Structure 1
Amino acid sequence: MSATLAGIGALVLWAFLALLSRLAAGVPPLQLTAMSFCVAGGLGLVMLALRGQLGVLRQPPIVWLHGVGGLFGYHALYFAALAYAPAVEANLLNYLWPLLIVLLSAPILGLRLGPRRLVGVGLGFLGTVALLGSGAQFPAGAWFGFLCAVACALTWSVYSVTARRLAAVPTEAVAGFCAASAVLAGAVHLAFEPTVLPDARQGLAALLLGLGPVGAAFFLWDIGMKRGDPRLLGTLAYAVPVASTLLLITAGHGALSWSVAAALVLVTGGGWLAATAK
């Protein structure tokens, strides 16, 4: 039960990912990725050193490729999505990842889809159509942000599904993945982006990201998925896009239009239907 509660804690933290990302607006996406992972990885490595567990970082190359590729790839794309596209719409597209997990479980893990799961996936697709085909006038560059949002949903779904093949990797190794992601993001940032000196608001947002949604959440989710009830966590995950979207709207970073409301119902409802199918 405690492991499942840890997974629920990760879901609560992820509900704040979009809002904190918007509070850091103005910081280039790769720089924000580097800053957030620097906090998460730095604290994680200090904790490992104090507990004498740095040896858990000795993992095969495939484990590092999976961990760093998933964490760095997802967040770099996510921060780019919110930087270039309207926050509410980009955030909802990102939350196609639970549906994609259901869809990819068949070819990757050999799990049966079944008609109910396929209907759920179809509803999620209709939610995307409602969101992007509503006739709304999006700003220039928004479609690049939307593509980044879809790409980050695909990245996180592949990372999550394939994680089952690496269940023996200790949770503590996530600290190393975060640190390596910070270094990689920093190097790519210096090569392709201008550096922005964060103001107090941006710096606080990056710190909170590193402590919560981009930090502790990974450790909690790893514990929950490996030792908790993945069925319950998978079902509860569909409350995250609702909470995340409402937080954005309440903070003034978007409006609850009919297309957003329809997409929210279709994406969340489709995901729930797929997750609860027998």
Structure 2
Amino acid sequence: MHNIHIISPRHFSIAAALVAVVLWSAAPLLAEQARDVSPLPLAALTLLAGALVTLPLSRREPTRHLSMGWRLAIWLGLPLLTTGAVSSYFIGMRLAPASDAALITYTWPVLFILLSQWITFGRVRFSSVLGAIIAFAGVALLMVPQALSGSHEGSLAGYGFAMLAAVCWALYSWLCQAAPASLTPLMPRILLIACAITAAAALPLGSSLTLPSQNALLAGIAIGLGPFGIAMVAWDKALRLGKASVIGSLAYGVPVLAAAFLVLAGMSVLDWRLPIAGALVVGGCLQASRR
């Protein structure tokens, strides 16, 4: 038995975090494969797939002892934020270049840090404010030329939806962190509620819920199984077993890796601003998370 090498929790947590990072980075590429599906039906499909793949984790977790406010936050707030984050993400990638929209969406760690500090301590550290300025300088590098030209209103709207997705993810993360109950066993039901909300919102807006093409259907299911299923579980395990500061820093590579996947697949053009903006966003996230 002494010859058997057992993986330490630290190494396992880093491996699990890297699995989540790679799966999240593949989401924009998979979304581009499903462009013939409207954003809201695509969001509903991915949320349904995410609920099904996390179903084995479901178990009875009583919430009756929680206050009415927290029960509303868990069963209504989290599904609404999930719907807003996923739907806005897909809409942003349709209206703006997918690599740009993915980069803007992944400013959410900075927003999460600022929100957590403000609510917990009633103030925000200077290092976090400086990190936010650096990260949003990268966002401005992408948005300002579009705004000055005045000929890409669709891209500007896409950037706005991508930023809305970032805000929703930041609020979602804060609620998950602050919730007085374990949310992992509740995740399948939360995702199913979010799926129902998304599907209900798609009907009045004229979105068709007809069965998409085979490639789009497989891409949508893959997004739900990977980025919104396996990745969430892997990330939860990584945070529980590893050092939060180390694990959290790995997430900052997602927008750069996502942009690289899109460029290598020929679905995005490597503009000189994109790598500089990516470096600013990652650097800003790292600066904001410094102790």
TM-score (norm 1): 0.89
Q: Kindly tell me: are residues 181 and 259 of structure 1, through their superposed partners in 2, closer, same or farther at Cα, counting changes over 3 Å? A: same
Q: Which has the larger radius of gyration?
A: 2
Mapping 1:108-147, distance limit 5 Å: 108-110=119-121, 113-135=124-146, 139-147=152-160
Aligned equivalent of 2:184, options 171, 178, 188: 171
**How far did residue 157 of structure 1 move?**
0.8
**Is residue 2:69 matched to residue 1:31?**
no
Q: Distance in 2 between matches of 1:205 and 1:64?
A: 28
- Please identify, of 226-235 and 246-255, the stretch whose mean Cα deviation from structure 2 is larger: 226-235
Amino acid across the alignment from 1:163: C
**How far did residue 211 of structure 1 move?**
0.8
Q: Kindly tell me: are residues 36 and 201 of structure 1, through their superposed partners in 2, closer, same or farther at Cα, counting changes over 3 Å? A: same
Aligned equivalent of 1:90, options 75, 95, 101: 101
Aligned to 1:192: 205
Q: Distance in 1 between matches of 2:81 and 2:151?
A: 29
Contact 1:167/1:226 (8 A) holds in 2: no
Q: Kindly tell me: are residues 225 and 109 of structure 1, through their superposed partners in 2, closer, same or farther at Cα, counting changes over 3 Å? A: farther
**Is residue 2:154 matched to residue 1:149?**
no
SS at match of 2:36: coil
Mapping 1:1-278, distance limit 5 Å: 1=9, 2-3=12-13, 5-45=15-55, 47=56, 54-56=59-61, 60-110=71-121, 113-135=124-146, 139-166=152-179, 168-195=181-208, 196-226=210-240, 228-275=242-289, 277-278=290-291
User: Which of structure 1's runs of 4+ aligned residues deviate more than 6 A?
Assistant: none
Q: Distance in 2 between matches of 1:165 and 1:77?
A: 24
**How far did residue 6 of structure 1 move?**
3.3
Q: CA-to-partner distance for each residue in 1:163-200, whole Å, 9 max, x for gaps?
A: 22115324121111111111111111122133154112
Contact 2:138/2:277 (8 A) holds in 1: yes
Q: CA-to-partner distance for each residue in 1:113-164, whole Å, 9 max, x for gaps?
A: 4333322111112111111113577645222211110001011011112322
Contact 2:143/2:159 (8 A) holds in 1: no
**How far did residue 42 of structure 1 move?**
2.6
Contact 2:130/2:288 (8 A) holds in 1: yes
Structure 2 unaligned regions, length at least 5: 1-8, 65-70
Amino acid across the alignment from 2:92: A
Structure 1 unaligned regions, length at least 5: none
Contact 1:108/1:162 (8 A) holds in 2: no
**How far did residue 272 of structure 1 move?**
1.6
SS at match of 2:50: helix
Contact 2:88/2:165 (8 A) holds in 1: yes
**How far did residue 84 of structure 1 move?**
1.6
Q: Distance in 1 between matches of 2:77 and 2:235?
A: 16
Q: Distance in 2 between matches of 1:239 and 1:131?
A: 18
Task: Report how many aligned residue pairs link the two structures.
Answer: 272
